[in-house]
Chains A and B, each alone.
Chain A
C-alpha cells in the first residue's frame, strides 16, 4: 500500500539504506533505526548535545543542486540526484536529518577518525581494566576492541590525576579514567538541577570535580554512574561486588512512588546486586532516584517473614487458610487493601472483600514530591486500586472509619494485605480487640498481633503490574525466587477468596488476568502477556475529578487529560 509520506518524516540514507525519520532526529538516532551503530561517548539522548568526544564523526553528503536555479543535479550514470560529499567528517550527534541527507559510516575516513579518537582517549587512560568495576559495560573497552588500533604508540608519561575521590555518599570518582565527556555535569545541571560538578584546569589536565566542601548527594546522584561511559564514576554500593557479565537482567518497576520509573534488576543466583533505570521516554526517560535503587535490600532485610503462622505457631498453608476462613466466616470482617499491592493482588483483594461482604479501605502514603521521579504519592499503585474497583475514592489519611467500626464492635476481624495497621493509626487497644489476618513481607506490630500470618513476596520476587500516576499500566517480572517459606501473594489471596466462598481465580498472573480482563472494563482489551515493556496508557477520565496528591513531575502534569494520551498510546 502506498501512503503519502508524512509531512513530519524526512527520508535519509545511512550507508545506502533508506529510512524515513521524524524531523529533528539526529544522525546517531537515525542510524540506530537501520541497525547502524554510530559509536559515541558524550552524546546522550536525554541531555544537551555538546559534541566533545568526536567519536561519532561520519561522512555526510547532501543532494546536489544547481546553485543558480536550485534545480537538482542528476547523475547520468545512476539517474539519481548527485550527492555532494563534504570533504571533512561531521559529528552525528549534532547533525540533524535534512531531506536527502546521505551518511557513510564505513569509509576509510570514518575508520581513521574513530581509530584516532580511540587512540587519543586511551593515551592518558590507565590500563586497569582487570581491576576496573566498569569492565563489561565500559564503552571505552568495547569500542577500543571495535575501533581501536590494538597497540600503543604512546611512550610518554601519562597524566596523573586524583584517584578514588568520594564525590558523595554513593558515588566514587577516578579522574584518571575520566574521558571528560561531561555527561555527569550536564545531568547534574540539566536534570537533577544540582549544579555541583564541573571541570577545573584546562586542556588535557582538565579534571572533573565537585566543588570543594560540596557533595554530589542529591537523590539522583547514581544516574551519573549509569551514564558515565567509562569507569570514572562508580557506585559505592555496587563497586567490586560482582562482574556485570555474571548478572541476569530483569525488567522491573520502581515502587517507591506513583511515578513508576522503569528499572532493571541485576541478579545472580537468586541474589540482587543492583537496580538501574530502564529507558522509558514517556515515564522516566533514562533516570531513576537513588532511593529506589536500594529497595532491593528489603529482600534480605532483618524481620523478613518466612513462615506461615497461626496463633504464633508455624503452620502449613492449608491449615492457615482454614483458620483464616474460620475467623472471617464469623462475620464482621473488614479488608485493608494496599496501594502498594499489584493490580492482580488488588483485584483479588476486591474479590475477597466481595466474598466477605466486607468494606475495603486503603492506607494513604503521601509525602513531598521532588518534581522529578519521586512523586507525592508514595503508594505506587493507588490508580490500580481505582481501576480494579478495589477502591472508588482515594485512600484517606487514617483508617478512621475502620477504627470507629472496631470501637463500635461492627468489625471484629480484619484482613490486612501488607499494611501495618498500627502505622496506619489503629491503637493498640483497637488491634487487641479484633482478629487480624496479615499478609506481608516483614514483621511489624500487625504481624505480631495477627492470629494468622501469611509471609508474602517483595516486588523482586514476583510478577505483576502497577498503574502509575499517568494511568499507565506497567509490567514487572520476577527477578529472584522468593525467600524460603514465603508464599506468592496471589496464591494466598486466591485461595483465601475460595476458602471464603468466592470463586477460585488462579494463583498465577496469567490466570488472574483472564478474570481481570473479563470483569474490569478498563482492562478488557489487555492481557498480561501483551503489555508492552513501556506500559500501556489506560483511560483515567472516570477518576479525573479525584484530588490526586501528585504535583508536576517528569512527564506528568496534574489534570492533563489522560484519555487523549490513551488515544495516542
Chain B
C-alpha cells in the first residue's frame, strides 16, 4: 500500500475517535478510496490488518455500500439522481444526456477516461430537481441543456462551479 503521508496521518487520527477500532472501517475506506481512487483487494487486506479484522469483514462493507468501488473510475464522477422527485423532473433525460455527451454506458469509464456516469439513489436535494453530483459538488436543476454545458466544461478540463455557496 502506497498511501500518502497525509492519508496515513488522517487514518491514525480517526481510529481513536471510536472506543472499538472496527468502527473506523468506513472512515478508513473513504480515506483510502480518496487516496487511491478505488478500494483494491490490497487495500481491503491492509484495512483489515490495521483494524484487527478479517479481510471478509471489510469486503462485506465494500460490496454493501455503493459509494465504494473496486475499480478505477473516470477523472470526474458524474452521479445523477434517479429517484422519484428527480425522475419526474427529468432525471432520466439528464442521465441520458451525460451518457450521450461522453459516449459511455452507466458505470463504465468513458472512452478517453473523462468521466464515469452513474445513476444513484436520492441525493436529498429534491426541491431543486433534477440534481447531479460531480465528484463532491452538488449541481441543481440540471436539465439536458445544463448537462451539455457541464459536459463541455468537463471535456475542456474546466472547473464545474455549482453556482451555489
A adjacent to B, CB under 8 Å: yes
- Give me the interface of A with B, judged by CB distance under 8 Å: 195-202, 209-214
Contact A201 B57 (CB under 8 A): no
Question: 12 more A-B contacts (CB under 8 A) besides A202-B63, A211-B54?
Answer: A195-B56, A195-B57, A196-B56, A197-B56, A198-B57, A198-B60, A199-B60, A200-B60, A200-B63, A200-B64, A201-B64, A211-B59
Please, how many angstroms separate the alpha-carbon atoms of A198 and B41 in the complex?
A: 15
Say how far B57's CB is from chain A's closest CB, in angstroms: 7
Residues of A within 8 A of B74 (CB): none
The answer to whether the Cβ of B107 comes within 8 Å of any Cβ in the partner chain is: no
Say how far B83's CB is from chain A's closest CB, in angstroms: 16
Residues of B within 8 A of A202 (CB): 63-64
The answer to whether the Cβ of B55 comes within 8 Å of any Cβ in the partner chain is: yes
Residues of A within 8 A of B60 (CB): 198-200
Q: Which of B41, B56, B60, B64 has the most CB of A within 10 A?
A: B56
B contacts with A, residue count (CB < 8 A): 9
Majority-rule SS of A interface residues: loop
Say how far A196's CB is from chain B's closest CB, in angstroms: 6
Please, how many angstroms separate the alpha-carbon atoms of A201 and B68 in the complex?
A: 11
Q: Which 7 pairs across A and B sit closest by C-beta, in order of nearness?
A: A200-B63, A211-B56, A198-B56, A195-B54, A198-B60, A211-B55, A202-B64
Contact A214 B64 (CB under 8 A): no
- Residue-wise, chain B 49-72 has the 8 Å CB interface mask toward A (1 for contact) of 000001111011001100000000
Contact A198 B64 (CB under 8 A): no
Please, how many angstroms separate the alpha-carbon atoms of A199 and B62 in the complex?
A: 11
Closest A residue to B64 using CB positions: A202
Residues of A within 8 A of B54 (CB): 195-196, 211
Say how far B149's CB is from chain A's closest CB, in angstroms: 35
Residues of B within 8 A of A200 (CB): 59-60, 63-64
Residues of B within 8 A of A214 (CB): 55-56
22 A-B pairs (CB sep. < 8 Å) = A195-B54, A195-B56, A195-B57, A196-B54, A197-B56, A198-B59, A198-B60, A199-B60, A200-B59, A200-B60, A200-B64, A201-B63, A202-B63, A202-B64, A209-B56, A209-B59, A211-B54, A211-B55, A211-B59, A212-B41, A214-B55, A214-B56
Closest A residue to B44 using CB positions: A211
Q: Which of A196, A197, A211, A212 has the most CB of B within 10 A?
A: A211
Say how far A312's CB is from chain B's closest CB, in angstroms: 57
Residues of A within 8 A of B55 (CB): 211, 214
Residues of B within 8 A of A212 (CB): 41, 59
Q: Which of A196, A198, A201 has the most CB of B within 10 A?
A: A198
Say how far A69's CB is from chain B's closest CB, in angstroms: 43
Closest B residue to A188 using CB positions: B56
Residues of A within 8 A of B59 (CB): 198, 200, 209, 211-212
Say how far B107's CB is from chain A's closest CB, in angstroms: 14
Please, how many angstroms separate the alpha-carbon atoms of A403 and B45 in the complex?
A: 55
Please, how many angstroms separate the alpha-carbon atoms of A200 and B62 in the complex?
A: 8
Say how far A27's CB is from chain B's closest CB, in angstroms: 30
Interface residues of B in 56-106 (CB under 8 A from A): 56-57, 59-60, 63-64
Closest B residue to A195 using CB positions: B54
Residues of A within 8 A of B41 (CB): 212-213
